[in-house]
Amino acid sequence: MKRARAVVVIVAIAVVATTIAACGGSGGGGSEITVWDYYGSASPIKPAVEAFRKKYPEIKVNYQAIDYETIQDKFSVAVSSEAAPDVATLDMTWIPTYASQGLLANLSQLSGGKLNGKPIEGQYSKGALEAMSYNGDYVTMLSDFDAYALYYRADKFKEKGIAVPKNWEQFRQAASELAEIGSNGKPEKYAFQVLPDTFHFDQFLLQNKGSILDPEWNKAALDSPAGEGALEFFKGFLEDGSGILWGKDQGDSTGLPGIKDERIGMFLNGPYMMGVLKDGVPEQAGDWKIAPAPVGLQEGSYLGGTGLTIPVNAPDQKDAWTFVQFLLEERQQLDVYTDAGAAPATEAALASPALNKPDPFFGGERPFGIFRQALKTATPYPYVKSWTQIDRAVEDGVTSALLGENSAESALSNTAGRIDELLAQESE
């Protein structure tokens, strides 16, 4: 009897708590936009919301931090249930899948071709513009970009008399001179970080004049001599003991633990690593420098980053676009660098003196110019629906070759088969 009453009391409390807590959530009139942001604790968007409120008091912003790993699931469910947010940050890797499904609003139409009063074309680099458009229309606006350059331990280079590598041949040479091999034949210190993912493989593939898909995006093209050459070169770092395989199971693709204990002395990565290094290894200030990635047959890098997107069924697209424009003003773009440690994507921000002053952490050089240069020859991923799966297939294939489970040739032909399968399903 008493127990039953206790249960009733608990239920009653739960119901009351529900009512009270839920009341806080509902807002009054005026327009309100919901923003989903995956930048995390170092977000440049969160502080921008406050500034936006001052400039546009009539638009209320409902800011929601969503974690990077799960935002895709939430986004898919919400958009397909007519409960989409008005603005969402999405990784450029996912954009093809969403854009080809017609989930993203046509920003060319919404914007009338203008961003903050000026034509969009003048405000981004050519590669970035290409990355942002699908079927000739803009579907996202880049907030930060990712393109690769070479990070290296300048102090060790100097100590060992190694020249900064300009091409692949010198790259291989420099890596083997830099790495210190332990008694077990594995590199113990200052190895080149071999990240077995699509981004890094694409770096070598593009520079070897190859590509993952053919130009029409309806067939795999990586099972070519260019692809094999790229993969063999990549794998070479592990074969001669100058590279350290940094697998996905590390749970950390930055390599920070390895950088901290000096197992890693050189790596190819995007501008966000500048922030990671400054936060993670302040004791190595001045030891690192950044150089353009060593060039193969041509320059090249993958182009990624974070896109600001408006779902096709966002309730308030007009105000959403106002918010997106606000985030892309130079002032907020610079916060992408100061808060998130990433590289802003608009040309105006990239040219800003604030970003181009000598950086004492990187030996007093101006590293942003190098990334800006890389952005010029970087290539975005193809806009195909199953890109997320293709990306994983490439990563799996590259990993199996790097782990020595497969030869480069058979790994690539398996991967190509898998990609063709996925692309065939799409066209059905």
Partner 1 sequence: MLGSLSGSRLRRTAAGYALITPAMAVAIAFLFIPIALSAYWSMTEYNGLTPPHWVGFHNYTYLLSEPQFTKAVKNTVIFVALGMTVGPALGLATALLLNEKVPWRGVFRTAYFLPVTASLVVVSVVWKLLLNEDGVVNAFIELFGIPGQAWLANSNTALPSVIVASIWQGLGFETVVFLAALQSIPAHLYDASKVDGAGSWARFRHVTLPGLRPTILFVFVIGIIGSFQVFDQVFVMTGGGPNEATRTIVFDLVERFRNLELGQASAVAYLLLLLLAALSLVQFWIDRRSRR
Partner 2 sequence: MNASNGRRALIFAALCAGSLLMIGPFVWAIGTSLKIPAEVFASPPQFIPRPFTLEGYKDVFTVLPFPRYLLNSIIVSVSIVALNVVFGTAAAYAFAKLHFPGRNFLFGALLVTLMVPFQVNLIPLYRIMVELHKISPVIGVDTYFGLIAPSAVQVFGIFLMRQYISTIPDSILESARLDGASEMRILRTIIFPLARPAVATLAIFTFVTAWNDFLWPLIITNSESMRTLPVGLAMLSRKNSVNWTDTMAGTVLTILPMLLVFAVLQRRFIEGLTAGAVKGSG
Q: How far is the CB of 405 from partner 1 (least distance, A)?
A: 7
Find which of partner 2, partner 1, none residue 14 binds, CB within 5 to 8 Å per kind.
partner 2
β partners of residue 119: 114
- Tell me the window of 42-50, 133-141, 220-228, 247-255 that interacts with partner 1 (CB under 8 A): 247-255
Q: Could you say which of partner 1, partner 2, none residue 4 binds, taking C-beta under 5 to 8 angstroms by partner kind?
A: partner 2
Q: Which residues pair with 305 in a beta bridge?
A: 145
Q: Of 36-44, 135-143, 310-318, 366-374, which segment contacts partner 2 by CB under 8 A?
A: 36-44
Residues 121-180 touching partner 1, rule: CB under 8 A, are none
User: Residue 237 binds which one of partner 1, partner 2, none, with CB within 5 to 8 A depending on kind?
Assistant: none
Contacting range for partner 2; rule: CB under 8 A; set: 78-86, 109-117, 292-300, 411-419 = 78-86
**Around 331, how many Cα atoms within 13 Å sit in the side-chain half-sphere?**
8
Q: By three-state DSSP, how is residue 268 classified?
A: strand
Q: Residue 247 binds which entry of partner 2, partner 1, none, with Cβ cut-offs from 5 to 8 Å by kind? A: partner 1
Q: Is 163 in the site for partner 2 (CB under 8 A)?
A: no
Task: Rule CB under 8 A: say whether 403 interacts with partner 1.
Answer: yes
Q: What is the total count of residues that contact partner 1 (CB under 8 A)?
A: 37
137-138/133-134 β-pairing: antiparallel
Q: Taking Cα atoms as reference points, which of 299, 300, 376 lies closest to residue 126?
A: 376
Neighbours of 236 (CB within 10 A): 17
d(CA 399, CA 245): 9
54 counts as binding partner 2 under rule CB under 8 A: no
Does 109 help bind partner 1 (rule: CB under 8 A)?
A: no
Helix H, strand E, coil C: the string for 200-243 is HHHHHHHHCCCCCECCCCCCECCCCHHHHHHHHHHHHHHHCCCE
Give yes or no for a contact between 90 and 302, defined as CB atoms under 8 angstroms apart: no
Nearest distance from C-beta of residue 216 to partner 2, angstroms: 32
**Strand 243-245 to 264-269 pairing:** unpaired
**DSSP 8-state secondary structure symbol assigned to residue 138:** E
Least separation in angstroms between residue 101's CB and partner 1 is 6
Among 186, 260, 278, 366, binds partner 2 (CB under 8 A): 260
Out of partner 1, partner 2, none, which partner does residue 25 contact, by CB within 5 to 8 A per kind? partner 2
**Structure tokens belonging to residue 132:** 């942002």
Terminal Cα-to-Cα distance of the chain (whole angstroms): 63
Closest CA to 294 of 108, 163, 115: 163
Nearer to partner 2, 1 or 58 (CB): 1
Shortest distance, CB of residue 67 to partner 1, whole angstroms? 13
Indicate the Cα dihedral angle 61, 47, 93, 396, nearest 10°.
-120
110 class by beta-carbon count within 10 Å (0-12 exposed, 13-18 middle, 19+ buried): middle
Pick one of 53, 77, 118, 159: the residue that binds partner 2 (CB under 8 A).
77
For the beta carbon of residue 266, count every other beta carbon within 10 angstroms: 25
Applying CB under 8 A, does 74 fall inside the site for partner 2? yes
Q: How far is Cα 284 from Cα 154, in angstroms, rounded to an integer? A: 11
Decide if 101 contacts 389 (C-beta within 8 A).
no
Pattern 44-73, binding to partner 1, x per CB under 8 A? Answer: ----------------------------xx
Centroid of chain to Cα 422: 23
Please, what is the minimum distance in Å from the beta carbon of residue 260 to partner 2?
5
CA distances (Å), origin 146, targets 93, 153, 166, 278: 11, 21, 21, 18
Radius of gyration of the chain (CA): 24
Residue 71 bridge partners (DSSP): none
- Residue 236 binding: pick among partner 2, partner 1, none (C-beta 5-8 Å cut-off by kind): none
- Residues 9, 15, 17, 77: which binds partner 1 (CB under 8 A)? 77
Is 252 an interacting residue with respect to partner 2 (CB under 8 A)? yes
Residue 385 binding partner per list partner 2, partner 1, none, with a CB distance cut-off of 5 to 8 Å that depends on partner kind: partner 1
What CA–CA distance (Å, rounded) separates 206 from 288? 26
Does residue 65 belong to the site contacting partner 2 (CB under 8 A)? Answer: yes
Q: Give the footprint of partner 2 on this chain (CB under 8 A).
A: 1, 3-4, 7-8, 10-11, 14, 17-19, 21-26, 34, 36, 38-41, 62, 64-70, 73-74, 77-78, 80-83, 91, 251-254, 256-257, 260-261, 272, 276
Q: Give the footprint of partner 1 on this chain (CB under 8 A).
A: 72-73, 76-77, 79-81, 97, 101-103, 196, 245, 247-251, 257, 312-313, 385-386, 388-389, 392-393, 395-397, 399-400, 403, 405, 414, 421, 425
